[in-house]
Amino acid sequence: MAHSHLIALFLLISCTLPALYASDGDADPIYKGCVEQCEKTGCVGDKCFQHCNFSSDGKPIDGPWYLQEPLYLRWKQWDCSSDCRYHCMLAREGEREKVGDKPVKYHGKWPFRRVYGIQEPVAVALSALNLSIQFHGWMSFFILLYYKLPLRPDKKTYYEYTGLWHIYGILAMNSWFWSAVFHSRDVELTEKLDCSSAVALLGFNFILAILRAFSVRDEAARVMVAAPLIAFVTTHILYLNFYKLDHGLNMKVCLAMGVAQLLIWAIWAGVTRHPSRWKLWLVVVGEGLAMLLQIYDFPPYRGFVDAHALYHAANIPLTYLWWSFIRDDSEFRTTALLKKPK
């Protein structure tokens, strides 16, 4: 779980940082003048946009309805303003490159190149790959428990944390799904869904860290631990979605939960005699190194691959290793329970 809570934390950071910092690019007077001119004329250089002939409410100004933006682009909300910003950004970055200047951020983001309307295609592809690795790990865990390990007479598993890991798998896949959607198109709705799914995963990971590290097996005790944390996380998500998307508060809350569970797992890995504890340490160290990619932010190579995309790539082998630890843990606990005298 040290791996999974760090994933949730950095998925959260990815949706928070753009809103926390102002950018040099959108303050550039040449860029601002280009955007203003584009919104009036509908053109950036020789490239013009048909949908700039429509008002903000979607009504045609000088053309019939069938000349409006295609449905798949309207779904992504690529309107006249966003297209003007995008192409002015590319034009300005081309000018900066000619005089040897380094890329700068625009509206909190590096100058990425779109592919078929997708804002960050490499990050989307890697998020989808992480989703598939999570699904593979979850299914291999399911097959091990129900088809390879012995079951109780009532067909339930001996492993006490089966249900919790199933919930974790679903929440992790949900988080990577919305990460892919968010990197496809960053708008208010996708930002809220990405942040909410990351907070939900992080909160559940905190609960799971406590239950597994302290070997809480009694159902009543589990409810006593989980109920207040579930109530807190649910209230926090509702606050972000329906009252105020406060990125500063959100970061403080999630850092507190993340650091707390990291300490729990680090201490447990140090004192336990679990035969696969080396996998836990390897994942923690690997995530620590991958964290440097989040700290050392750099502009995207050729407009596609940045530090955050590389972080997504680093998570792929770590996720595979983490599910291997989960499977080992289920075997370890099942074997221990079967050896107990009846």
Give the pLDDT confidence of 200-246 residue by residue, as tens digits.
Answer: 999 999 999 999 999 898 899 999 999 999 999 999 999 999 988 88
Whole-model pTM: value is 0.85
In a domain, 11, yes or no: no
Give the pLDDT confidence of 87-103 residue by residue, as tens digits.
Answer: 888 888 888 888 888 88
140 and 183 share a domain?
Answer: yes
92 and 178 share a domain?
Answer: no
Determine contact, residues 86/77, Cβ cutoff 8 Å. no
188 and 72 share a domain?
Answer: no
In a domain, 271, yes or no: yes
139 and 200 share a domain?
Answer: yes
Determine contact, residues 167/134, Cβ cutoff 8 Å. no
Q: What is the number of domains present in the chain?
A: 2
What CATH number is attached to the domain comprising 315? 1.20.1070
249 and 181 share a domain?
Answer: yes
Residue 238 φ then ψ, to 5°: -65, -40
159 and 234 share a domain?
Answer: yes
What are the E-state strand segments in the chain? 43-44, 47-48
- Cα 149 to its chain centre, rounded Å, is 33
The strand pair at 43-44 and 47-48 is best described as: antiparallel
Print the domain residue range for 40.
20-99
39 and 126 share a domain?
Answer: no
210 and 299 share a domain?
Answer: yes
pLDDT category at 62 given cuts 50, 70, 90 is very low
140 and 214 share a domain?
Answer: yes
For 3, 144, 284, 342, the CA distances from 318, given in Å and listed in that order, are: 7, 20, 9, 38
Give the pLDDT confidence of 127-154 residue by residue, as tens digits.
Answer: 999 999 999 999 999 999 999 999 999 9
Nearest to 5 by CA among 215, 237, 283: 283
183 and 311 share a domain?
Answer: yes
In a domain, 1, yes or no: no
The span from the CA of 114 to the CA of 82, in Å, is 12
